[in-house]
Amino acid sequence: SDHHLDYPLSPAHMDWSSYYPAFVDPDASKTTPDGARKLVKDVEIVDIGCGFGGLTVALAPLLPETLMVGMEIRTQVLEYLNSRICFLRAQQQHLKNKAAATSSESPAPAATEEEPVQKTSDKPADEAGTTTAVVPGNYENISAIRANTMKFLPNFFGHHQLSKIFICFPDPHFKARKHKARIISESLNAEYAYVLRPGGLLYTITDVEEYHHWILRHFQHDPETQAASGGIKDLWERVPESELEQDPCLRVMKFETEESKKVTRNKGNKYVAVYRRKADPEWP
Ligand code: SAM
């Protein structure tokens, strides 16, 4: 239950130092109110309900200077993901050490800045071990925390802190009486709008067509009834598919999360909707 969930008093109180040790500010005088070391930059990308972490693991080498976090409510899944990240970091260090030792004997192979290794396995347990080259960022830019994002998201992230939020294959909660457990709702969308910066993107994907329509309804005014504008929906605009063709994040979301691989295997449909956070309305 939530009693066992740790969450900071406010974003300023969050101690990220153990999550991103490579990004701790060398200036030791920069600390949180509780005395923890600060990072040189803020976490910018969040994967809500990240499961086994396929999204952040695949995004890590593509955006090596961007800090990303997966948030997951299930303890065992989170433990698995933490050890997966630990393993990937250690493996990178090992590969670097090996390359350094070889370079003292012969010219070093170039680090694969342009060509991060793409993993092909769809089993998390195998995937953790498939990297065979040094990748940009060494997975130091990703991390995972246990959290109930329906309750404590604004404790972790400040106003306009995030540039991207991913909600990939959210639990469908099919029965109407369970809809309140859905991770897309009018009040949660207001929180997403609060933590996402203007111009930032919120990505959604689901294999449940009815849930896709639920998502559309909760982000957009109904074009048929021309429901009155106003309210939280005015803060979102849908990004057309054509604009997303070149977005590598979309490919990762569609093909690299564990759930997306399962849907591909089962030849299921994938419904995508991406929303841009509009600027805050000007007050008269
Ligand atoms: N996004 C992953 C993927 O695409 O492979 C996992 C999808 S899985 C169907 C949904 C995940 O969301 C589960 O791991 C579940 O534990 C997590 N989840 C559900 N409600 C949550 C909440 N309130 N806070 C954090 N995680 C949650």
Q: DSSP characters for the chain?
A: -GGG----SSGGG---TTT-GGGB-S-TT-B-TTSPBPBSS-EEEEEET-TT-HHHHHHTTTSTTSEEEEEES-HHHHHHHHHHHHHHHHHHHHHHHHHHHHHTTSPPPPP-SSSPPPP----HHHHTT---S--TTTTTTEEEEE--HHHHHHHHS-TT-EEEEEEES-----SGGGGGG-S--HHHHHHHHHHEEEEEEEEEEES-HHHHHHHHHHHS--TTTT----SGGGGEEEPPHHHHTT-HHHHHHHHTSHHHHHHHHTT---EEEEEEEPPPPPP-
Between residues 120 and 94, which one has the greater pLDDT?
94
> Residue 77 pLDDT > 70, yes or no?
yes
Percent of the chain residues topping a pLDDT of 70: 87
Let me know if 171 is a catalytic residue. yes
pLDDT digits (tens, 9 = 90+) for 104-118: 776 555 544 333 444
Contact 99, 78 (CB under 8 A): no
How many whole angstroms from 148 Cα to the centroid of ligand 1?
10
Ligand 1 pocket test, candidate residues 45, 47, 73, 204, most atoms within 8 A of CB? 73
| Residue 109, pLDDT score | 53
Residue of 171, 222, 247, 280 marked catalytic: 171
How many angstroms separate the CA atoms of 251 and 274, rounded? 13
Closest-CA residue, ligand 1 atom 17, reads: 49
| Residue 228, pLDDT score | 58
**What pTM value is reported for the model?**
0.90
How many whole angstroms from 171 Cα to the centroid of ligand 1?
6
Instruction: Kindly give the pairing relationship between strand 196-206 and strand 271-277.
Output: antiparallel
- Mean pLDDT score of the chain: 89
Closest-CA residue, ligand 1 atom 14, reads: 51
pLDDT digits (tens, 9 = 90+) for 225-266: 655 566 778 899 999 989 999 999 999 999 999 999 999 999
How many whole angstroms from 184 Cα to the centroid of ligand 1?
12
| Residue 106, pLDDT score | 65
Ligand 1 binding pocket, CB closer than 6 Å: 49-51, 54, 71-74, 77, 147-150, 168-171, 183, 257-260
| Residue 60, pLDDT score | 97
Q: Which residue type sits at 149?
A: T
Closest-CA residue, ligand 1 atom 23, reads: 148
How many whole angstroms from 259 Cα to the centroid of ligand 1?
10
**For 15-39, what is the mean pLDDT?**
97
> Residue 133 pLDDT > 90, yes or no?
no
Percent of the chain residues topping a pLDDT of 90: 76
pLDDT digits (tens, 9 = 90+) for 143-178: 999 999 999 999 999 999 999 999 999 999 999 999
